[in-house]
Structure 1
């Protein structure tokens, strides 16, 4: 407690001198973003910040249905091999230049071809981007690609000013974007400051003059600063803190359904660390899964507020397959599998985001897995450092969050497809790739379901990932904050959000 109070006291002076006459919205986030460039970004917290900075071509609503943002209309070609977008009239970048078809083409071409872009696999079916006129963009595809709208509702649809695109890998140094707030200052590990962009197409519905993101990994410190009045809103309230927030009359807790999930990524083919027993033998990975119990993790670490799950889609949804449920915990069976694989015990390091909830989850897994024959070393890391380590193959296993997508392909293919931009452990299964390709080519749920089910059966048997649970989103805010609408993707939408004092 003494450490928590000390850290909170260090944060209090940050807000001692507000700008006179301006309204400032102060948000506590769970980590410091690594890369403020949609092309190079790969973490959830970056998407939270991008929601203020960068408009997308399309967005999703609380019902997970697509809705207009920079594109006000879209239409598929009869054969599914092209998507035509109509751009919003009068929209501008934060440097004042118009958001026209040429600018959109420049962004999309960068995302799908630039060396630094992690969006290339998401847009690999796009063979060309055409601009029939200033307000029309036509994406030509090599084959029908049902997830494309979902892709454009995320980082691959975020538009930056063409003036900064020549910076390539260094775009993050000056990300002039298209959203309601313009970046004015960033201090790494400290704060991200923005100001309202008066020229934004929806400026009349943006009610804060300034926006400040404070990366505060410690859940207790975030909550303490909210209670002290130094923050207006915090994301991802820890489950252990929910009862106290619910009792606090000064605060309001908003809960929402979530498409996000937590997973353990296992390095099965990326560099020397994949050569250990865990990475090289599916029997060892099965033993690891049989040594843990997701329901216990949910009850002990998460107050029973989340949903234990071994799949990328939440239970009860169209692409969740109950017949592929996780095997029950059986430490004896786990030890037998290890012996069959030639091991009495297996040791490995589990890299974990340096946040209390994730650390507790890891400790529970460590304790349970010990009974199944595993000696796990937990390595706590800041979010950016963890992402960088997994990208270069410097891990045996790591805990990761995925914020979820409205299309089933976006919930699993980035991790499991051989060219998926999140497939940091280099899992390869040609049959899985073929099933994903077939599922992307059709739009009817009844035709896509069996394809994703077959793919799930294959990768779940190989176990390059162990999904642990689906989140439920919890935000806490001062009573003076109004207009907040929860979204299943966990991203804050700023239109309509008001800050009272």
Structure 2
């Protein structure tokens, strides 16, 4: 499968293809599942949307909400009504106005559409009402400190209402670049939207995202001039990039994680010993040497993880320590569970890094009595299988949100949108639901701590590491600032002729 991706890209490399000064070519590790923000599940979708679909609010390097489509906002005294004001004279890519009526249509769709992936993110909204063309009010069922962070991402992205039905393949959005075409598993092409409010700050006439799962191919294309930039450099290539006078490394700590999600109740996959018995899952975690993954695959950049919140988050629980690597204890737990030998399949996206991690887990697991069959698939196929429950374990991660709710609720609350594990614990869901609306920091953190104490025992997700976001750019590129979210903003970015 990797050869299918690599051949046309290597042909491009061998042909000596170079990019034009007014074109930006960016190498992505994965393909998107679709181009509709309401239905999107992939991180790379967010990367593309950053250039294609503006949100109501934005998030900068300081992880604070700031104006994007909305120029200002205010809360009522009990934090149950959010009134927002749009910038005037905004238009979608088809020329239709971005007004309060369009915002209402987008939020209503995200809340009510049956296949919306944004429902849980906006579940606190009771109604959206139009005040006038530029002003609208969001009424909540209860206070929700997570709402603004959600509106800075896909839940707050605006699509022209006349094009809702075709958004998944041909979105008409509101960002600095508009959609031109997509070749699945190969490329996505955008062109500059000349009527964008800050058009003067965007210096490329064309932006092309190239899908290149193989990190070696991405880096080779960057060096040959076939790319201007790549995301998610393989850690083993960092020394080589640093020593290359024609390249520049821009890295930043992420707010996300990578982990192994275990099917404990999502369809037939949850009926295996691994899914049914937490002792088997605990044994698997003990068999995995997270620091070895950090050193061998991450070259010391993959901070070992035990929870969804990074050490830079105020909600990080310092009492939760990274699990020890203990093969003998893992064997003892399997014997106690009556399953000294356990077989299961691990699916993962066919990228170089995922392949290396999967092979390491397979070898580590074998030492304790686990027979792990590896199955590399296309990224979108992996998501489809995870959503349907057609898996035992899936090696995947999350780009992260600056509010803690975005890193835990939708993955571990009962029947939530990204709960691939099928995990359901009423106490955990209750704590996470309460944390969503708790305004006091100490009280909110305790709710997350209480939920995590249960999650650490049940282990529907084995957290592996907190990844950095390493970007590599040609020396011809200037003005790029990496974001902790891993997204790519082209505002102010230029390229030498």
Q: Could you state the TM-score of these two structures normalised by the residue count of structure 1?
A: 0.96
Q: Give me the CA root mean square deviation.
A: 1.6
CA contact (8 A) 2:17 2:226 kept: no
Query: CA offsets, 1:390-449, max 9 Å, x none?
Result: 111110000112000010111111111113211012110111111112212222322211
CA contact (8 A) 2:63 2:402 kept: yes
**In the alignment, what sits opposite 2:320?**
324
CA contact (8 A) 2:59 2:65 kept: yes
* Alignment counterpart, residue 395 of structure 1, candidates 383, 391, 395: 391
Structure 2: distance between partners of 1:456 and 1:239: 30
Runs of 4+ in 1 over 3 A off after TM superposition: 3-9, 12-19
**In the alignment, what sits opposite 2:348?**
352
Cα deviation for residue 171 of structure 1 reads 2.3
* Alignment counterpart, residue 183 of structure 1, candidates 156, 172, 179: 179
Structure 2: distance between partners of 1:344 and 1:401: 29
Q: Does 1:246 align with 2:247?
A: no
**In the alignment, what sits opposite 1:36?**
35
What number of residue pairs does the alignment pair up? Answer: 494
Q: Does 1:485 align with 2:481?
A: yes
Q: 1:133 to 1:283 in 2, by over 3 A?
A: same
Query: CA offsets, 1:422-481, max 9 Å, x none?
Result: 101211011111111221222232221111100111111110001110011111111110
* Alignment counterpart, residue 251 of structure 2, candidates 244, 249, 255: 255
**In the alignment, what sits opposite 1:11?**
12
Structure 2: distance between partners of 1:11 and 1:183: 23
Structure 1: distance between partners of 2:17 and 2:237: 27
Structure 1: distance between partners of 2:347 and 2:378: 10
Structure 2: distance between partners of 1:316 and 1:197: 37
* Alignment counterpart, residue 300 of structure 2, candidates 304, 310, 318: 304
Q: Does 1:279 align with 2:252?
A: no
CA contact (8 A) 2:47 2:488 kept: yes
**In the alignment, what sits opposite 1:55?**
54
* Alignment counterpart, residue 207 of structure 1, candidates 203, 216, 221: 203
- Structure 1 regions of 5+ residues with no counterpart? none
Structure 1: distance between partners of 2:12 and 2:411: 37
Structure 2: distance between partners of 1:8 and 1:157: 35
Query: CA offsets, 1:333-386, max 9 Å, x none?
Result: 111111111112101001111011111111111111111111111111111110
**In the alignment, what sits opposite 1:470?**
466
Query: CA offsets, 1:51-107, max 9 Å, x none?
Result: 111000011110111111001111122111111111111111000111000000000
**In the alignment, what sits opposite 1:110?**
109
Q: Does 1:457 align with 2:458?
A: no
Alignment of 1:129-148 (within 5 A): 129-148=128-147
CA contact (8 A) 1:121 1:419 kept: no
Q: 1:13 to 1:240 in 2, by over 3 A?
A: closer
Cα deviation for residue 13 of structure 1 reads 8.0
**In the alignment, what sits opposite 1:155?**
154
Query: CA offsets, 1:172-216, max 9 Å, x none?
Result: 122100001011111111111110000111111111010001000
Q: Does 1:441 align with 2:442?
A: no
Structure 1: distance between partners of 2:63 and 2:449: 22
Structure 2: distance between partners of 1:239 and 1:89: 45
**In the alignment, what sits opposite 1:496?**
492
Structure 2: distance between partners of 1:206 and 1:314: 32
Aligned-partner SS, 1:102: helix
Structure 2: distance between partners of 1:341 and 1:303: 36
Q: 1:14 to 1:196 in 2, by over 3 A?
A: farther
Structure 1: distance between partners of 2:495 and 2:380: 30
Cα deviation for residue 326 of structure 1 reads 3.0
Structure 1: distance between partners of 2:378 and 2:329: 35
Aligned-partner SS, 2:265: coil
**In the alignment, what sits opposite 1:376?**
372
Structure 2: distance between partners of 1:318 and 1:173: 39
Q: Does 1:290 align with 2:286?
A: yes
| Greater mean deviation of Cα atoms: 281-290 or 317-326 | 317-326
Query: CA offsets, 1:4-62, max 9 Å, x none?
Result: 9965432248995977xx70001011111111111110010111111111000011110
CA contact (8 A) 2:100 2:134 kept: yes
Structure 2: distance between partners of 1:279 and 1:381: 22
Structure 2: distance between partners of 1:7 and 1:125: 47
CA contact (8 A) 1:48 1:491 kept: yes
- Structure 2 regions of 5+ residues with no counterpart? none
Structure 2: distance between partners of 1:472 and 1:332: 32
CA contact (8 A) 1:352 1:379 kept: yes
**In the alignment, what sits opposite 2:86?**
87
CA contact (8 A) 1:255 1:473 kept: yes
Structure 1: distance between partners of 2:177 and 2:479: 18
Structure 2: distance between partners of 1:138 and 1:500: 45
Structure 2: distance between partners of 1:6 and 1:395: 29
Structure 1: distance between partners of 2:361 and 2:62: 34
Q: Could you state the TM-score of these two structures normalised by the residue count of structure 2?
A: 0.97
Cα deviation for residue 154 of structure 1 reads 0.8
